[in-house]
Amino acid sequence: MLRTSTLLRQVPVACRTLALAPASRRTFTSSLLRLKPALTSKGTDVSGSAGVEGLHRKDTPSATAVLETQSGEKVDVSAGVPSIVKGDWVLFHPVYSPEELRAVQVLHHEAKTFSDKIAVYFVRLLRWSFDLVSGYKHKPLPPNSNNMSLEELREGGYIMTEHAWLSRMLFLESIAGVPGMVAATLRHLRSLRLMRRDAGWIHTLLEEAENERMHLMTFMAVRKPSWFFRMLVLGAQGVFYNLFFFSYLVSPRTCHRFVGLLEEEAVVTYTRCIQEIEAGHVPKWENYPAPAIAIDYWRMKPDAKLLDVIYAVRSDESTHRFVNHSLANINPDKDVNPFALREPNMLVKGGKLAFERDEAEQYVEESLHMIDEGRQKHDDPQQSQHQQSQHRQA
């Protein structure tokens, strides 16, 4: 059983000692300063790059704001706050290495329980609705496809245009940001209502919701949808939000399984898009520059392309697939969120569907062990160095 009380008792200590723990190769970034370097590869002394999300008040001087008192004395009232705030995100998200971006595999959860089968049914229903509204279709290429032009392949329904792909992505991401926010809201209210801690679930769910929203903002930079498309999104979001809200009240596990299965479909969609771009079936996107918001969000190179963005989005969807399937495998009422302090890298999440409950417990114990090591180094650095020297000699 996951020791909820143990983790919750250790988390306040973690906040003081994370910077001292051994760094994981996982990298997280944020548009605001947040002390969570414990299990990441960046320290608090590493400054983030300024970008479209705006500048942090501790990174740059603010605009001058001076008031003159009745006595003629001039007082600076800016308090280090920027005059313009353009924050697009504030929560942490992974930044991937080239190896991680290509480590994602198309995987499918085998439904065994009754609740899993219900989740599968609703995912198929939602997938059919998505395909209908967005015009998405992906027929296998015919044997003579090499002798067919792009126009012939598109007319036959074998490949899609750039416009069709964007319609699919915009609609998908406008809905995909709903589950994390709904689940976080309900767990937040539950924590208030029961007057007890949440065991680390809320922040992970909020991070997922914001990450999906940033996908939408990224694709919005490529094309702005029509008013009719916006109306479709408005209707779909209203229906889906309420259905997911009441479903989560009844069975959080089934809902997380549903989201995990939905993310499986997202991985399939982006994998097919990547394959079509690399096959030359979407020529306008082969050298299309990545939007500025994407370069900043995923810390990409200045000359990054849209294809690099889609690789990053697919990796994010693989993360959501792994996290939600893992959360569906543990007890939402008693167990600690194993990803409250860190996440596995994409070499794990890209090729594995989820943690089973015993694996989640082991992962929590490893996280706490890393925190304990960091605290020991802080309390007695000489003793820590002596222990490391003995370990190397052994």
Give the tens place of pLDDT for each residue, 197-230: 998 999 999 999 999 999 999 999 998 889 998 9
The most confident of 94-98, 145-149, 211-215, 389-393, by mean pLDDT: 211-215
Alpha carbons 317 and 326: distance in angstroms, whole number: 14
Determine the average pLDDT of the residues in 258-283.
Answer: 94
Q: How many CA atoms lie within 13 A of 359 on its CB side?
A: 14
- For each of the domains in the chain, give its residue range(s) and CATH number, in order of start: 4-42+87-373 (1.20.1260.140)
Which pLDDT score is estimated for 129?
Answer: 81
Q: What is the pLDDT of residues 134-182, one digit of tens each?
A: 677 777 777 877 778 888 788 777 888 898 899 899 999 999 999 999 9
Among the ranges given (130-134, 195-199, 332-336), the one the predictor scored with the smallest mean pLDDT: 130-134
**Res. 394 pLDDT band, cuts 50 70 90:** low
Which pLDDT score is estimated for 6?
Answer: 40
Which pLDDT score is estimated for 10?
Answer: 39
Q: Which of 108, 212, 206 is nearest to 169 (CA)?
A: 212
CB atoms within 10 A of CB 211: 24
Determine the average pLDDT of the residues in 344-359.
Answer: 93
Determine the average pLDDT of the residues in 53-68.
Answer: 42
**Res. 377 pLDDT band, cuts 50 70 90:** confident
